[in-house]
């Protein structure tokens, strides 16, 4: 958020209401999800969403390291969201900065809400998200990928979690911000939803919106999540349809 000094602000909406990449206000960027792409991981997924490239791997339930973090009554959910140094225009110093740590935390909390952690006491479920190429919305892409990876790992959960950001540019609410819209827009609100209950397990917001706008933004986000949910299920069907076909051959 916030304008970057002297840089010229691009025209984010043209007179026909088309966005910088030609999308309408309610359009998602192209989203491709592939399940089971890593061999070593217990579950994995790759998400290409607009110009984002994000991989997620899931390990566990497995032994907890360090041991003192172990919980006697439930599994702990450990998440690491990490951006590659080359994933952004200006090289990012490798490693977890405060932003990544916070995002890791809220993603772990989101998943703990749908995982049956009490079924796996004294274990850890590890969710690892690597952002290889970033263009706004990487935490949402990470959640979308991690959901599919958890299902691919066969870890019981109440539902997949789709996620998307809603924002405001040039006074209009828009779905699924891209980088310019995030940098020069007026608001950014990433959210993740449990489709079965319709509840949000992740919600963050930065910027300015009226209460009325917030209501609309939430509706737009819910509709966006429903579309993404279908793509997540399709990715899993594709993966296991292939597995079944190979098994039968």
Q: Which chain residues interact with another protein by CB under 8 A? A: 38-42, 44, 51, 53, 55-57, 59, 62, 65, 80, 82, 84-91, 94, 126, 128-130, 132-135
Give the number of other CB atoms < 10 A from CB of residue 48: 18
Handedness of CA 205, 208, 211, 217 (dihedral sign): negative
Q: Which residues contact 237 (CB under 8 A, 6 or more apart)?
A: none
- Cβ distance to another protein smaller for residue 133 or 238: 133
Residue 216's nearest CA partner among 189, 178, 179 is 189
Rounded to a whole number of angstroms, the minimum distance from the CB of residue 57 to another protein is 4
Whole-angstrom distance, CA of residue 154 vs CA of residue 192: 21
Q: Which is nearer to another protein, 120 or 128 (CB)?
A: 128
Query: Closest CB to another protein among 128 and 229?
Result: 128
DSSP designation for 13: B
**242 is written with which tokens?**
């292939």
Which of 41/209 has CB closer to another protein? 41
């Amino acid at each position: 958020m916030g304008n970057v000094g002297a840089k010229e602000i691009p025209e984010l909406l043209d007179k026909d209401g088309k966005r910088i990449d030609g999308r309408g206000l309610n359009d998602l960027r192209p989203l491709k999800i592939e399940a089971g792409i890593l061999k070593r991981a217990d579950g994995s997924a790759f998400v290409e969403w607009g110009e984002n490239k994000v991989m997620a791997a899931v390990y566990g339930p497995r032994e907890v390291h360090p041991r003192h973090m172990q919980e006697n009554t439930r599994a702990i959910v450990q998440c690491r969201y990490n951006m590659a140094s080359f994933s952004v225009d200006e090289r990012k110093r490798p490693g977890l900065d405060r932003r990544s740590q916070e995002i890791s935390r809220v993603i772990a909390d989101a998943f703990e809400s749908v995982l049956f952690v009490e079924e796996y006491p004294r274990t850890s479920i590890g969710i690892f998200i690597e952002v290889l190429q970033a263009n706004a919305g990487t935490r949402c892409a990470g959640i979308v990928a991690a959901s599919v990876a958890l299902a691919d790992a066969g870890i019981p959960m109440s539902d997949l979690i789709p996620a998307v950001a809603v924002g405001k540019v040039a006074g209009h609410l828009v779905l699924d911000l891209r980088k310019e819209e995030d940098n020069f827009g007026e608001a950014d609100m990433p959210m993740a939803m449990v489709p079965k209950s319709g509840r949000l397990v992740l919600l963050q917001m930065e910027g300015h919106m009226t209460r009325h706008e917030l209501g609309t933004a939430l509706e737009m986000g819910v509709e966006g999540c429903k579309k993404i949910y279908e793509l997540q299920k399709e990715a899993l069907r594709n993966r296991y349809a292939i597995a079944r076909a190979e098994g039968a051959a």
